[in-house]
Chains A and B, each alone.
Chain A
Amino acid sequence: SAVISQKPSRDICQRGTSLTIQCQVDSQVTMMFWYRQQPGQSLTLIATANQGSEATYESGFVIDKFPISRPNLTFSTLTVSNMSPEDSSIYLCSVALGQNYGYTFGSGTRLTVV
């Protein structure tokens, strides 16, 4: 399985600012995924990030709010823009290693917006 390093692990941010979350994988992967987990809730898929193409966003998520970069096969960033308290969540990245190998998740970024 892959090892994912996610930074920062937590942050407290002022409303109206932006935060960029980094996801580094120890092996090359085609697809990376970003999830949001609001307090007490399950995980919600934000978008899928493929290297060399635009990210694909799920319903309810837009690029202006959650721009994603995928410059190579081992790295991706998610930016939470113009934050409000409603953006306070855990944000997780994930990679898929193939149907028979499951998915690996990072440890998450706990974001608090004040």
Chain B
Amino acid sequence: DAKTTQPPSMDCAEGRAANLPCNHSTISGNEYVYWYRQIHSQGPQYIIHGLKNNETNEMASLIITEDRKSSTLILPHATLRDTAVYYCIVQGRDFNKFYFGSGTKLNVKP
């Protein structure tokens, strides 16, 4: 199963875009990239996922490089409520297990 590497923490000013990077250099061709976040020890919350193309929903945008070895989650206008740990996950080989890495603690500051 592909592993992911994320910076342990990042700061972002309120109202600015937050760009969270993730490296997944061993990703396989049929594996998806998922992003989740966990706010203050609540259950993780799904944000977005993608395979090859860039994706956008009401919460965020996901940019996947052409070689698929890395991706970036973009929160276009970060608010204080976006302060959380963000996890980048590559779906396991059997498509039915999630293995969490250490994630990025995003601190949104006023």
Contacts and interface: CB of A to CB of B under 8 A. Distances in A.
Interface stretch (B16-24, B60-68, B69-77, B89-97): B89-97
Contacts of B87: 42
Please classify how large the interface on chain A is, using the bins under 10, 10 to 19, 20 to 34, 35 or more: 20 to 34
Query: Which label, helix, strand, loop or mixed, suits the secondary structure of the B interface?
Result: loop
B43 A96 contact: no
B101 A42 contact: yes
B98 A107 contact: no
A60 B46 CA distance: 27
A106 B43 contact: yes
Interface in A40-95: 42-45, 48, 90, 92, 94
A31 B96 contact: yes
Contacts of B42: 107-108
A46 to B, nearest CB: 11
Contacts of A45: 97-100
B49 A42 contact: no
B32 A105 contact: no
B28 to A, nearest CB: 14
**Residue of B43, B46, B101 most packed against chain A (CB within 10 A):** B43
A90 B98 contact: no
Interface of B: 32, 34, 36, 41-46, 49, 85, 87, 91, 95-103
23 contacts: A31-B96, A33-B97, A42-B85, A42-B87, A42-B100, A43-B44, A45-B98, A48-B96, A48-B97, A92-B43, A94-B98, A99-B32, A99-B91, A102-B46, A103-B36, A103-B46, A105-B44, A105-B45, A107-B43, A108-B41, A108-B42, A108-B43, A110-B41
Given A37-B41, A43-B44, 11 more contacts: A33-B98, A42-B85, A43-B100, A44-B100, A45-B97, A48-B97, A94-B43, A99-B91, A102-B46, A103-B46, A104-B46
